[in-house]
Amino acid sequence: MTLRGAYSALAVLHLGHYYGDRQCKTREIAEGKNIPLKFLQQILATLVREGLLVSVAGPKGAYSLSRSPEELSLLDVIEAADGSLEPAGCGVCEVECDWDGPCPRRDAWARAREALVDSLASTSFGDLQKTST
């Protein structure tokens, strides 16, 4: 996960606390979660484009979640921010892999990646809110 992914998760967690009550301004999120404002603006634009947030433009503009925190997983947000967690290639071999042949190193990394994806997919922001209050 990149810093963009981590900050995206923090922003969504912040917005989740106010889901159904009110929208939040960019500056409020930045100050509340200690995220650089300019970076957060880029992140929020991405999350809107990916359909995870709803925005209202203009001087009174603000953001809210597009669905409840219970319906948003960590995987949804991380992949929206960072792209797919599918590896571009093997990544554990020093030479070109034969994807059809057996490889204990690649298999171990594939299992680890699958466990990470399963954990992120099964953790909702509703779950995180319960542990962060």
For the chain, domains (ranges, CATH) are: 3-132 (1.10.10.10)
Q: What is the pLDDT of residues 102-122, one digit of tens each?
A: 777 777 878 888 999 999 999
Q: What is the pLDDT of residues 53-87, one digit of tens each?
A: 999 988 888 999 999 999 999 999 999 999 988 76
SS3 content of the chain, % helix, strand, coil (to 5): 55, 10, 35
Give Cα 90 to chain centroid, integer Å. 23
The pTM of the full predicted model, rounded to 2 decimals, is: 0.86
**Average confidence score pLDDT of the chain:** 89
Q: H or E element: which one contains 102?
A: none
Nearest to 8 by CA among 88, 75, 71: 75
**Which pLDDT score, from 0 to 100, does residue 38 have?**
95
